[in-house]
Amino acid sequence: MFEEADTGQEAAMPEKLIKDPDWWRGAVIYQIYPRSFNDTNGDGIGDLNGVTERLDYIASLGVDAIWLSPFFTSPMHDFGYDVSNYEDVDPMFGTLADFDRMTRAAHERGLKVMIDLVISHTSDQHPWFKESRSSKDNAKADWFVWADAKPDGTPPNNWLSLFGGPAWEWDSRRCQFYMHNFLTSQPDLNFHNVEVQDAVLDVARFWLERGVDGFRLDTVNFYFHDADLRDNPPLSGDEAPSTVDPTNPYGFQDHIYDKTRPENLAFLERFRALLDKYPGATSVGEIGADGQAVELTASYTEAGKRIHMAYSFDLLTPQHSAPYIRRIVEEMNGGIGSGWASWALSNHDVKRVTSRWGDGKDMAKFAPLGAALCASLRGTPCLYQGEELGLTQADVPFEKLQDPYGIRFWPEYTGRDGCRTPMPWVKDNANGGFSDAEPWLPVAPEHLAKAAFEQDKDKSSVLNRNRAFFAWRQDLAPLKKGDMVFLESGGETLVFTRSHGGDTILCAFNLAEGAEAIELDGLQLENLNAPGFTGSIDGNRIRLGGLDAVFARVKS
């Protein structure tokens, strides 16, 4: 079992953390949802000291950085994505001193620290909004998106909230509507106001000065709205709604005016200029834009100009056939230009990939295969907590649900709680070693057998297979920074090369449960014997068992 991290001493940042300003290209980022990671004060909610306590475990995974979902002061209506103070830690997670201690301890272990920056909106409890709503002529009156009602008293346009219903809420103090892309308690900031831009840049500077190595930018394409408040058009007749939740009418609009506005590019250039003052600082943006992922990733991550990398939801969908994955990745590689993508198969917003793509499959094989595939694509992979254990989606009963999105659309859509249940550390108590108290969400009983410290004892476990693969990958530059070219293969197989600095590695994956053989003409291959995978090479013939892979060096 991993010992609690020793955080008593100040430590200089290890040399490997500062010598490569491009460390983020191909780095493995481990996403932590703090509420559900590890509770050290017995209140049933994870905390920053819980992260610190598990840093040796995290470092053992062979990852390069951690990304923490929000821990800022918040009323927690959307579990930290509604911020009421950007420059403090919510007491349920600890203190700023706890954060500083965790950051130092992470750096001692060679881990970068990235935090979630939620700046498209605040909580309605934030002092900025309280002042803004107090009158139409106060100093922050224009810091949020306010609009008069139409003559008949209805909202100013047809914009919808992603959480259901109109994107406008009436405020009786100002006798105006304010815009909210999410909950009514999450008013949108007005980025057309330069003072707002300055304020959120000051927030980023505050955390950079505390030693963070970068940011995950929540809803990075939602910052600006159309200043003329024009109605969104409906989707054209040949387009199908493609939101994560098919029961949500949000998906019936073409969201050309309420987000993804061209003014965002100039702000992202300001943001990048700030990051560039802190060598090695990086950024990854979350892009929520159906059908525009490639275009936006290319423009938002143009080398040296805006943010460093971005991810979309194109591999966070139920679609998972080999042809689908190839199409998505090829379109990104072909259209991204000088930019850089990030890839994830799971996160805190979607059903876990083991249940979304691996339902009915042998999880002991599928889970390591999925992690290896994500880490072999051109881009930067994100691994969501529990993904290294092969955790499946939990079934949270209605009476235990916490997610306002799930409660709103139950039972057709059960929300996000099923991927947010607590991490299981041990198998022999109902709370999985997560907490001494009843957790804020129940630990899934089926997760106990997959507990981290239980898997740690088994060399062939999903956890140890993932550890071995990430350790093996560390010294292979083509799998981190290389170009990528797909080769023709049939069925549910994916075959591609990654090339960097004169070194080319071939990667072949079989997503089906039956064995496959692939003929590749004109290539001389040397099996690299990637740990945990048993695919073989005979001349130009690749043999793959079900849910298996092989990695080979291409000889010149």
Do 35 and 79 meet the contact criterion of CB atoms below 8 Å apart?
A: yes
Q: Are strands 493-500 and 503-510 parallel, antiparallel or unpaired?
A: antiparallel
Task: For residue 270, report the phi and psi dihedrals to the nearest 5 degrees.
Answer: -65, -40
Do 418 and 394 meet the contact criterion of CB atoms below 8 Å apart?
A: yes
Do 178 and 145 meet the contact criterion of CB atoms below 8 Å apart?
A: yes
DSSP 103-146: HHHHHHTT-EEEEEE--SB--TTSHHHHHHHT-SSSTTTTSB-E
What gap in Å lies between CA 443 and CA 275, rounded to an integer?
39
Distances (CA, A) of 489 to 296, 330, 478, 517, 544: 30, 14, 21, 9, 12
Distances (CA, A) of 457 to 1, 52, 62, 117, 255: 9, 22, 17, 37, 50
Do 479 and 505 meet the contact criterion of CB atoms below 8 Å apart?
A: yes
What gap in Å lies between CA 389 and CA 54, rounded to an integer?
15
Do 302 and 310 meet the contact criterion of CB atoms below 8 Å apart?
A: no
Distances (CA, A) of 528 to 254, 465, 543: 47, 16, 14
Q: Which two tokens stand for residue 87?
A: 């420059």
Q: Are strands 65-68 and 29-32 parallel, antiparallel or unpaired?
A: parallel
Q: With CA atoms as reference, report the closest residue to 427 among 450, 459, 456, 444.
A: 450
Do 19 and 279 meet the contact criterion of CB atoms below 8 Å apart?
A: no
CA 232-199-73 angle, 5° bins: 90
Do 244 and 405 meet the contact criterion of CB atoms below 8 Å apart?
A: no
Beta-carbon count within 10 A of 402 CB: 16
Distances (CA, A) of 260 to 109, 162, 288, 448: 38, 15, 9, 42
Q: Which long-range contacts (CB under 8 A, 24 or more apart) does 71-76 make?
A: 71/34, 71/99, 71/115, 72/118, 74/123, 75/123, 75/125, 75/185
Active site amino acids: 218, 286
